[in-house]
Amino acid sequence: MAFLDLLYFGSLRETLGKDGERVDPPSHVLTIEDLVAWLGERDEPYRSAFGAPSRIGGAVEGERVGNRDSIFGAREVALFPPPGAL
Amino acid sequence: MAFLDLLYFGSLRETLGKDGERVDPPSHVLTIEDLVAWLGERDEPYRSAFGAPSRIGGAVEGERVGNRDSIFGAREVALFPPPGAL
Amino acid sequence: MIDIRIQAGDFDPGRQLGRLEELGRAAVSGFVAMVEAAEDVTEILVEHHPVLAKNALRRIAEETERNWPLAGIILIHRHGRLRRGERLAFAAVAASDPRHALDGCCFLVDALRSRALFWRKELAADGSGRWMEP
Amino acid sequence: MIDIRIQAGDFDPGRQLGRLEELGRAAVSGFVAMVEAAEDVTEILVEHHPVLAKNALRRIAEETERNWPLAGIILIHRHGRLRRGERLAFAAVAASDPRHALDGCCFLVDALRSRALFWRKELAADGSGRWMEP
C-alpha cells in the first residue's frame, strides 16, 4: 500500500508534538475510525491523543468525511479534535 | 361623557378621508371593539372602513391595546389597519 | 443599552454595528430592511405617528431584553417617502452567546414586521398607490 | 453570489453589508463574531489549514444556498493571533424574504460554530494556553 500523509490540528497536534507524519497503515485500516484505532494502539503520546476516538474528526484530501468513511487510496488524511473558533 | 379624539392611519385614514376627529360615543361603548362597531354603524365611508372589525387595531393614549381592552376615560384613541412596513 | 430611533433620514449600518461591537461581547447580530418592491413601484410612503411608533418600538425592545441576556439593542425605523433600494429599518443586538444574539435579532425583526406601528403605501409612476397590509 | 474569505487581517462589516444591500433585496441579515474571553486571556490563536478551511466554508455556504432562496452569501473567517475585542468572523446573507435571510444567517453561524475547520487556543499572560473544544 502507498504511504499516507497525516495532518494533525489543534490539541491533537500539540499532544502529539508534531503537525503531521507519513505512515504505512496495515491493510485492515480502511476508514477514519480504523486509522484512529490503529494510531491509538501506539505508545504515548498516541495512546492519550487518540484515547477518545469519537472526538476525533477526519478529512480526506481536504474534504471533511465521516468517521466510517473510507480512506482507501487516500494520499492525505487530516485528523483533528472538534472544530469551531467562535 | 368627555369627548374622545380619534386618530386614523394608513388605508383607514384614506378611506375615511381624514386623519382624525372628535367624537362623543354613547355610554355602552367601553372597548376598542365597541368603538369600532359603533363607528361601523355610520353611513359610508364608515361602513366600508370598519367592515372587517377584526382587522382594526387600537391604541389608547399612545399605547397599543387589545380590541377587548377598555377605552374608559381615554382622551385619545388611535385606530388602524394591520401595521408593519417591512 | 437600548437605543431606539425613528427618523426620515438614512443611517449607517456599519457604524451602528460598531457601537455594539464595542460592548466587547462575542456576538453581534444585525438586520437591515431595504425597500424592495414591484417594477412599477417608484417609491413607498411610510406613515407613522411619532408617539405611537416610539412606544411600539420601545415595547418591542423591552420585551426582547426580558427574553434574552443581551448587552445592547438598537432599533431604527425610517418614515416618509423612500425609493426602491433605500434602507428602511435596522435591528441589531450584542450578546455573549451567539444563540442569544441570533434569537434576539430574529425576535426584533418579526416584531418589526407585525407590531411596529408603521403603515406602508406603494406608489406607482402613474400616481396610483396601494397600502400593503398583512 | 457566494463570497468566502479566510484572512489574517480585519474586515469592515459595514462595507460587507453594503455589498449585500446593493443586491436590491428586502432583507440583509448579518452576524459579527468577536473575540470575547476570560479576564486572564490576553489573546487567542486561531489555527487552520487553508485548503481544509476553505473547503469547509464552501460546503457550508453551498448547503445554505440550497436550503433557502438567497441572493448573496458572505462568509469571512480570520486566523492567527487575535486580541480580545477584535473581530473573528462574519456571516451575512441577502434575500427578498426577511424570514429566509434570518434563517439562512442563523444556519451559517451554527455551522461556523460546529463545522468550520478552525481551532481556538486561548493564551494567558503567564504563557499558559488552553484549547477550546466543544
Q: Nearest chain B residue to C33 by CA: give it.
A: B86
Structurally, how many domains does chain C consist of?
1
Burial grade of C19 (CB within 10 A; 0-12, 13-18, 19 or more): middle
Query: A with B: 3 or more CB pairs under 8 Å?
Result: no
pTM over 0.90: yes
Residue the block writes with cell 442569544 = C100
Tell me: pLDDT of B1 over 60: no
Give the closest-approach CA distance of A28 to chain D in angstroms: 26
> What integer pLDDT is reported at residue C127 of this predicted model?
87
| Cis geometry, peptide bond prior to residue B45 (ω within 30 degrees of 0) | yes
Tell me: pLDDT of A1 over 90: no
Helices H / strands E in chain D, number of each: 3, 8
- Given CA atoms D35, D38, D44, D49 in this order, what sign does their dihedral have? negative
Per-residue pLDDT of chain C (134 residues; tens, 9 = 90+): 999 999 999 999 999 999 999 999 999 999 999 999 999 999 999 999 999 999 999 999 999 999 999 999 999 999 999 999 999 999 999 999 999 999 999 999 999 999 999 999 999 989 899 999 87
Q: With an 8 Å Cβ cutoff, are C113 and B84 in contact?
A: yes
The C-alpha cell at A58 is 477526519
| Cis geometry, peptide bond prior to residue B25 (ω within 30 degrees of 0) | no
Chain A residues with CB inside 8 Å of D55's CB? 59, 62-64
pLDDT one-digit tens code per residue, A48-84: 999 999 999 999 999 999 999 999 999 999 999 999 9
Q: Give the C-alpha distances (Å, rounded to integers) separating D67 from C113, D31, D53, D107.
A: 23, 19, 21, 10
- Per the CB < 8 A criterion, the answer to whether D18 and C14 are in contact is yes
Single out the residue of C123, C120, C130, C134 nearest to residue C40, CA to CA: C123
The C-alpha cell at A59 is 478529512
Chain C residues with CB inside 8 Å of B10's CB? 47, 119, 121, 131, 133
Residue the block writes with cell 475547520 = D117
Task: For residues A9 and A20, give the distance between their C-alpha atoms in angstroms, rounded to a whole number.
Answer: 9
Q: With an 8 Å Cβ cutoff, are C117 and B86 in contact?
A: no
pLDDT one-digit tens code per residue, A6-57: 999 999 999 999 999 999 999 999 999 999 999 999 999 999 999 999 999 9
ipTM: 0.94
Largest CA distance in chain A: 39
Task: For residues D69 and A79, give the distance between their C-alpha atoms in angstroms, rounded to a whole number.
Answer: 34
Domain ranges of chain A: 4-80
Binding-site residues on chain A for chain D (CB distance < 8 A): 7, 9-11, 13-14, 55, 59, 62-64, 78, 80-86
- Given CA atoms B81, B84, B86, C5 in this order, what sign does their dihedral have? positive
The backbone torsions φ and ψ at residue A66, rounded to the nearest 5 degrees and listed phi first, read -80, 160
Identity of residue A2: A
Residues in chain A: 86
The C-alpha cell at B77 is 384613541
Task: Give the CATH number of the domain where residue C22 resides.
Answer: 3.90.1170.40
pLDDT one-digit tens code per residue, B27-51: 999 999 999 999 999 999 999 999 9
C·D CB contacts under 8 A: 99
Single out the residue of A37, A35, A33 nearest to residue A23, CA to CA: A35
CB atoms within 10 A of CB C59: 15
- Per the CB < 8 A criterion, the answer to whether C131 and C121 are in contact is yes
Residue the block writes with cell 417594477 = C39
Q: With an 8 Å Cβ cutoff, are C33 and D27 in contact?
A: yes
pLDDT one-digit tens code per residue, D38-84: 999 999 999 999 999 999 999 999 999 999 999 999 999 999 999 99
- Domain encompassing residue C114: 2-131
The C-alpha cell at C1 is 443599552
- Per the CB < 8 A criterion, the answer to whether D130 and A11 are in contact is no
Strand-pairing partners, residue C129, are: C123
Alpha-helical runs (H) found in A1-86: 10-16, 32-40, 46-49
- In this complex, the residue of C14, C85, C96 whose CB is nearest that of residue D17 is C14
CATH topology of domain B4-80: Ubiquitin-like (UB roll) (3.10.20)
Chain C residues with CB inside 8 Å of D134's CB? none
